[in-house]
Amino acid sequence: MSEIRHKWSRQEILAIYNKPLMELLYEAATIHRLHHDPNKVQVSTLLSIKTGGCPEDCGYCPQAARYHTDIETNDLMTVSQVKAQALRAKQSGSSRVCMGAAWRNVKDGPEFDQVLEMVRTINKLDMEVCCTLGMLTENQAKRLAEAGLYAYNHNLDTSEDYYKDVISTRAFNDRLETIGNVRKSNVTVCSGGIIGMGERLVDRAGMLVALATLAPQPESVPINALVAVEGTPMADFEPVSIWEMIRMVATTRIVMPETQVRLSAGRTQMSREGQAMCFFAGANSIFSGDKLLTTPNPDVGEDMQMFKFLGLQPQEPFLKGSQPKTVEAKDSQLKPLGERPKWTRPGHTIQRNEMAKTSSKAKG
């Protein structure tokens, strides 16, 4: 396999994004198969352990205290509640539980201690544990690592240029600093963004530049389609098309070949055929369950039916990436087709090649 490239320009990524779709899909699918098993998908369950009341002003988020949305707020869940939810997730095929709290940043104290105990508890269930808790110090990242945290999610959301149009209460560099603090521990990084927030294509490319130039690149990159929620500043934004999602997934796969690309928010608006094309283009991770923190998501049963139809299997926990199926391995299993078999219609003895000769004589 070739060495991972970390230097990308927006123009290079835009050129990939705007390729003729069939060429883009072919390139992305080829790269995907070099680094991953195309029939394995990592399944995560997202659990809101503390909902609402966030002091930030992210324009897309219904959990911001300043917006008037219909979400039901709740205090931090108990460890036993989280364990029960994790067990249900495991029985449904998830290998990872992602716990989200509507905080601007983590504060040391009883609540953080409770989160650490949640991490220890889920880790004992032989499941990957991910958290998204806001900004994080180096010491807090190390404490989470010691508790057994597998991944930390901290999305960039969009490009640095467009970021200030989406959020004013936290700087783009604050997000990069948190990712840097996570990297100082042995916790893997999950970081991606959202499309459909009014950004330009160059902003989508800019977000991918920021992610792809990280060394190492994030182990997981969620690609979200904006889910417009009434009461937020982006309530009236039109949903992105499936073609935009497919192009974004494919481009992400090409520039970050070893990363798990997660098809995240917005799947309720996608057909099975559209999702299948995203998997073909390189997506190999999803959130499963009927809710993503506060927004709707396909039911677990629907996802398992889709997996069965597409021949996909949930990935086992604690794999840095699926084992690739090399072209050589596939070719070694192929057998020569040989001569096409002859056939007869029931009740008849005339074989296909003889019928062809008869037809030819009749025309002559």
Per the document, the length of the chain is 364
Peptide bond into 222 cis (omega under 30): no
Q: Please check whether residue 349 lies inside any domain of the structure.
A: yes
Answer yes or no: do 48 and 170 share one domain.
yes
pLDDT reported for residue 352: 38
pLDDT reported for residue 112: 95
Other CB atoms closer than 10 Å to residue 263's CB: what's the count?
25
pLDDT tens digits for range 286-313: 987 654 445 556 667 888 889 899 999 9
Lowest mean pLDDT among 27-41, 53-67, 190-204: 53-67
pLDDT tens digits for range 195-254: 999 999 999 999 999 999 999 999 999 999 998 888 888 888 989 999 999 999 999 999
Write the CATH number for 24: 3.20.20.70
81 or 335, which is more confident: 81
Indicate which residue of 175, 204, 253, 262 is catalytic: 262
Answer yes or no: do 310 and 244 share one domain.
yes
The yes-or-no answer on residue 88 being catalytic is no
Range of the domain at 347: 329-363
B/e letters for 136-170, b = 16+ CB within 10 Å, e = fewer, are beeebbbbbbebbbbbbbbbbbbbbebbeebbeeb
The yes-or-no answer on residue 98 being catalytic is yes
256 or 353, which is more confident: 256
Indicate which residue of 10, 58, 143, 247 is catalytic: 58
Q: How far apart are CA 277 and CA 265, in angstroms?
A: 16
The yes-or-no answer on residue 58 being catalytic is yes
Answer yes or no: do 290 and 346 share one domain.
no
Answer yes or no: do 271 and 343 share one domain.
no
The yes-or-no answer on residue 61 being catalytic is yes
Answer yes or no: do 42 and 173 share one domain.
yes
Answer yes or no: do 301 and 336 share one domain.
no
Indicate which residue of 10, 61, 96, 204 is catalytic: 61
363 or 95, which is more confident: 95
Indicate which residue of 170, 175, 183, 190 is catalytic: 190
Answer yes or no: do 194 and 160 share one domain.
yes
pLDDT tens digits for range 137-164: 999 999 999 999 999 999 999 999 999 9
Answer yes or no: do 180 and 202 share one domain.
yes
Indicate which residue of 10, 96, 130, 267 is catalytic: 130
Answer yes or no: do 252 and 349 share one domain.
no
Answer yes or no: do 299 and 354 share one domain.
no
The yes-or-no answer on residue 278 being catalytic is no
Please tell me the total count of domains within the chain.
Answer: 2
- Max mean pLDDT among 25-29, 352-356, 360-364 falls in 25-29
